[in-house]
């Protein structure tokens, strides 16, 4: 049904199909002028697509379900042409100038230094003792960072010592600081944020009133992840029931402005970042891959690309989720890796490949994940296989690459993070100096005696993938990249209302840290 005032608006549309689809899916029965305006902000039009050719098309096509508490409605897959046209030269990226590259990548020797890779170094037996050691080590590492980096108002004391002296510490004159692992987070009806912190000695129940004027990213409003390590300062409230620790403030590890290392001018080469190719899936975007290979062969900018980092989910895998079989074009796992090898063979010989696993790959899912099996590696003539995460340097530029499975937990755990803003999860990881804090969530963790998911060194480039978005930016001095996928929207993503941003190669000049996002869709 359509309101009379809206008729004119509808008549001016070149194509009614997206509007009707969106209205039906959003359960809009009466197309008032306002409803049409709202839907049109979601339906991609020629004008909005043309306005941002490089930007991924976020084709949200329905209004959000008011019951869902999600700002995102269902989305429609964009109509993707299978015809390939050459990618436009330089993509208007005047800041990513060839003048910044005195040498070509083929003339620069490869320089990869691996700082951390679990491959061959996993020692856990998964016993209770290992779990204890894993969390104690995390607490020790991050508490030490807080003390050395002066992010606490005073030296912390142990929970049991504070508890013993709770009468004394119940006065606001005796503020005390504690550091521990977080659990049982919830908001009280009053708006206070309640949680438990636990150190080696005991658990203490805490309550934090959101400070007036606090930003949405303040933990009291945004939340904390289970098993985060935080500091709290405040005092005890002695009452008949269990005493409560009233936190005046919450303290995260230090994260100042990072000063990035750069490759020297003679080593001014680029690193290209991609993840989630999902080769073997029916929705792998084959023509667009050919277009990228053509770009590598013909575009002068490609001659600056020395490294190609594939951060997990290179193949779609087999048996990763129920019913996956019917979404597969290649149903044999080894054939999937064989096809990925064939596709990567198309890259010019001056490009060095680095391959990490992700949650779709044929290695243990528990993180840190080791590199792919030597049997699989045989298909690849020239690639460096590393684990996930991997901390490494290219020409002195420190890179932390993590597939990003824990973004699922950050979306569930923090109010600010959504699947369309993975960069907020990445910022949250840097702020808490941990890639995947929560045990028992969606990210399987291996309880190594040392917690290697702690971000001990702030990277110059931090890269993740997994949620099939795209982002290139900067956070407190670290170049942040959420690398793009080569898989079109899947049925599952369509059901969730998620629109991926496929076929964007992110390229970083290691000398200047200028970034270019090159679209091949
Ligand atoms: Fe993926
Ligand atoms: Fe993934």
pLDDT at 336: 98
Q: How far apart are CA 355 and CA 340, in angstroms?
A: 11
Given the structure tokens 């303040």, which residue do they identify? 218
**Structure tokens that stand for 86 in this block:** 């050459």
Tens of pLDDT along 15-46?
444 444 444 444 444 555 555 444 443 333 33
What pLDDT is stored for residue 74 in this prediction?
A: 39
Q: What share of the chain is helix, strand, coil (3-state, %, to 5)?
A: 25, 25, 50
- 320-344: average pLDDT: 96
- Tens digits of per-residue pLDDT, 473-514? 999 999 999 999 999 999 888 988 899 999 999 999 999 999
| Separation of alpha carbons 132 and 151, rounded Å | 26
Ligand 2 is an ion; residues with CB less than 5 A from it: 313, 358-359, 466
Closest-lying ligand to the alpha carbon of 358?
2
DSSP string, 11-28: HT-S--HHHHHHHHHTT-
pLDDT at 456 over 50: yes
Interval 368-383: pLDDT, tens: 999 999 999 998 988 9
Ligand 1 centroid to residue 250 C-alpha, Å = 34
pLDDT category at 8 given cuts 50, 70, 90 is low
Closest by CA position to 26, among listed 77, 72, 79: 72
Orientation angle between helical segments 33-42 and 17-25, nearest 10 degrees: 100
What's residue 57's pLDDT?
33
Ligand 1 center from residue 277 Cα (angstroms): 7
Strand partners, 198: 181, 203
Average model confidence (pLDDT) across the chain? 86
- Per DSSP, which regions of 80-217 are E strands? 112-116, 176-187, 193-198, 203-208
Span from the CA of 85 to the centroid of ligand 1 (angstroms):
26
Q: Please give all residues whose CB falls under 5 A of ion ligand 1, grouped by chain where several chains appear.
A: 276, 313
184 Cα–ligand 2 center, Å = 27
276 Cα–ligand 1 center, Å: 4
**Cα–ligand 1 centroid distance for 468 (angstroms):** 6
Distance 482 CA to ligand 1 centre (A): 12
**How many C-beta atoms surround the C-beta of residue 256 within 10 A?**
10
What's this model's pTM, rounded to 2 decimal places? 0.83
442-455 pLDDT, tens digit per residue, is 999 999 999 999 99
Residue 270 near residue 513 (C-beta atoms within 8 A): no
Which pairs count as long-range contacts for 412-417, CB under 8 Å and 24+ apart, including other chains?
412/441, 412/442, 413/223, 413/224, 413/225, 413/226, 413/438, 413/441, 414/222, 414/223, 414/225, 415/216, 415/221, 415/222, 415/223, 416/216, 416/217, 416/222
CA 407 to ligand 2 center in whole angstroms: 10
Per-residue pLDDT, 20: 45
Ligand 2 centre distance from Cα of residue 71 (Å): 23
Cα(313) to ligand 2 centroid in Å equals: 6
Which ligand has its closest atom nearest to the C-alpha of 407? Answer: 2
Mean pLDDT of 225-245: 93
Residues 6 or more apart from 397 whose CB is under 8 A from it?
A: 260, 261, 262, 263, 271, 460, 461, 510
Find out whether 192 and 185 touch, Cβ atoms under 8 Å: no
Q: What is the mean pLDDT of residues 353-371?
A: 98
From the CA of 283, the nearest ligand is 1
Give the number of the ligand closest to the Cα of residue 277: 1
CB 426 within 8 A of CB 466: no
Cα–Cα dist 373/363, whole Å: 7
Residue, of 304 and 31, whose pLDDT is higher: 304
């Amino acid at each position: 049904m359509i309101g009379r005032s809206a008729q004119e608006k509808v008549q001016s549309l070149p194509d009614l199909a997206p509007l009707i689809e969106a209205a039906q899916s959003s359960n809009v029965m009466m197309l008032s002028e306002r409803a049409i305006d709202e839907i049109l902000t979601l339906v991609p039009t020629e004008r909005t697509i043309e306005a941002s050719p490089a930007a991924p098309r976020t084709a949200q096509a329905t209004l959000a379900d008011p019951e869902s508490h999600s700002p995102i409605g269902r989305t429609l897959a964009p109509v993707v042409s299978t015809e390939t046209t050459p990618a436009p030269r330089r993509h208007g990226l005047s800041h990513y100038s060839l003048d910044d590259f005195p040498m070509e990548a083929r003339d620069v020797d490869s320089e990869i230094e691996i700082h951390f890779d679990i491959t061959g170094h996993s020692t856990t037996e998964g016993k209770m003792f290992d779990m204890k050691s894993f969390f104690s080590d995390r607490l020790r590492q991050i508490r030490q960072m807080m003390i050395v980096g002066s992010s606490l108002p005073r030296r912390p004391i142990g929970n049991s010592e504070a508890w013993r002296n709770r009468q004394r510490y119940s006065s606001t004159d005796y503020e005390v600081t504690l550091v521990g692992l977080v659990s049982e987070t919830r908001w009280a009806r009053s708006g206070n944020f309640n949680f438990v912190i636990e150190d080696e000695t005991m658990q203490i129940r805490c309550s934090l009133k959101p400070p007036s004027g606090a930003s949405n990213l303040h933990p009291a409003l945004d939340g904390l992840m289970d098993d985060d390590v935080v500091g709290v300062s405040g005092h005890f409230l002695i009452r008949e029931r269990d005493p409560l620790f009233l936190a005046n403030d919450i303290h995260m590890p230090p994260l100042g402005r990072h000063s990035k290392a750069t490759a020297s001018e003679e080593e001014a080469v680029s690193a290209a970042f991609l993840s989630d190719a999902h080769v073997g899936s029916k929705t792998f975007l084959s023509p667009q891959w050919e277009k990228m290979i053509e770009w590598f062969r013909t575009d002068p900018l490609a001659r600056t690309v020395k490294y190609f980092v594939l951060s997990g989910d290179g193949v779609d895998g087999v048996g990763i989720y129920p019913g996956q079989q019917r979404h597969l074009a290649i149903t044999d796992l080894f054939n999937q890796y064989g096809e990925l090898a064939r596709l990567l063979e198309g890259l010019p010989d001056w490009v060095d490949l680095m391959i990490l696993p992700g949650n779709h790959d044929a290695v243990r899912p528990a993180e840190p994940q080791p590199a792919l099996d030597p049997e699989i590696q045989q298909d690849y003539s020239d690639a460096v296989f590393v684990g996930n995460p991997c901390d490494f340097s290219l020409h002195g530029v420190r890179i932390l690459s993590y597939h990003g499975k824990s973004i699922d937990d950050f979306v569930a755990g923090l109010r600010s993070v959504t699947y369309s803003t993975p960069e907020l999860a990445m910022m949250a990881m840097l702020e808490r100096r941990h890639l995947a804090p929560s045990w028992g969530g969606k990210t399987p963790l291996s309880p190594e005696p040392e917690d290697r998911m702690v971000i001990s060194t702030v990277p110059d480039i931090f890269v993740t993938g997994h949620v099939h978005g795209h982002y290139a930016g900067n956070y407190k001095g670290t170049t942040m990249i959420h690398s793009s996928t080569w898989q079109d929207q899947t049925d599952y993503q369509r059901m969730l209302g998620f629109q991926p941003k496929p076929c964007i190669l992110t390229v970083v000049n290691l000398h200047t840290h200028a970034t270019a996002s090159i679209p091949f869709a």
